[in-house]
Amino acid sequence: MSTVAADSFAPRELFIGLFDDAALFPPGNAPMVRSVPAHLAYAEASCGDLVGPFLCPASRLEELCTTLDDDAALDLTIVVDTGTGGLVDAVAAVTGDRRLDLRGVEIVLRAEHDLGTSARRTVAAVLDAGLPHTAAVFVEVARGGHPGPALDVLAEYDLSAKLRTGGADPSAYPSEAEVATFLVACLDREVAVKCTAGLHHAVRNTAPGSGFEQHGYLNLLLAVDAALDGADERGVAAELGDRDAPAVAARVRSLTADKAARTRVWFRSLGTCSIDEPVDELRALGLIDQTPT
């Protein structure tokens, strides 16, 4: 058992529900029959409060329901891969199953010249799908253009944004400047955000083998904190680019519980195909208790 004093850790509020379980998605691509029991087991683990909902593509909901035991209880976010046309049926399937608690929906905004119009159509379809009022909606905004028009629509309907921060090739990884621009644009409009893909480590790094420049999830949290304190895009990008793990961990540890909670209001979560790896890094950096799961 760890002998480190609890007040030497980072505020637990910073990490509660931070890691959405994307085990089904690349690069993990774990099978459903293994992913579901593994997710449910986290409820009994010491890190259980750090784990967010299970993410499931809309196209695999039937497989999910077949895998679940009759007495299971699963917090679920639907990742819409069937287009808006399949959203109503997907929501109905989840809300009609007593084993499932629909916590959210994630949907990709179609990449069009007029992002504002595209966002308005997408949001209308989501709002007409019969979502419970407690379900969060994350709209993934395509990279490559200015996100402002789309974010204006999300702000109007009090919905959240999603940014993809990695993928299968180097071009899928946005630069620190691009992420900083997106975060500041969201916060200027009071739009909460989540990130997904490529967040394999706590701190900014160059991936061995592939050479991909990967963002760190602790950098993202600190970047949001900095933006909330009034940092401009350059200051936010500097937080995103810091590769000094001890220094990053020290700044995270120095956050007050109030600042940690404030940061998480606006940075909702991140998707990860492995829960154990990011949690283990928090332990290795001395930010949470060393007690194993």
Cα gap 137→157, rounded to integer Å: 10
Nearest to residue 198, comparing CAs of 224, 220, 181?
A: 220
Q: Tell me what pLDDT residue 292 has.
A: 55
* Contact (Cβ atoms closer than 8 angstroms) between residue 87 and residue 129: yes
Banded model confidence at residue 143, pLDDT cuts 50, 70, 90:
confident
CATH for 6-284 (2.60.40, 3.40.720, 1.10.1760, 3.20.20): 3.20.20
**Is pTM, for the whole model, over 0.85?**
yes
Q: Tell me what pLDDT residue 8 has.
A: 79
Cα gap 166→174, rounded to integer Å: 7
Cα gap 241→176, rounded to integer Å: 6
Question: Residue 200: which residues within 8 A CB-CB, separation 6 or more?
Answer: 166, 207, 214, 272, 274, 277, 278
pLDDT of residue 293 exceeding 80: no
For 202-225, what is each residue's pLDDT tens digit?
Answer: 999 999 988 999 999 999 999 999
* Contact (Cβ atoms closer than 8 angstroms) between residue 288 and residue 15: yes
Q: What is the mean pLDDT of residues 265-288?
A: 96
pLDDT of residue 5 exceeding 60: no
Banded model confidence at residue 4, pLDDT cuts 50, 70, 90:
very low
Banded model confidence at residue 291, pLDDT cuts 50, 70, 90:
low
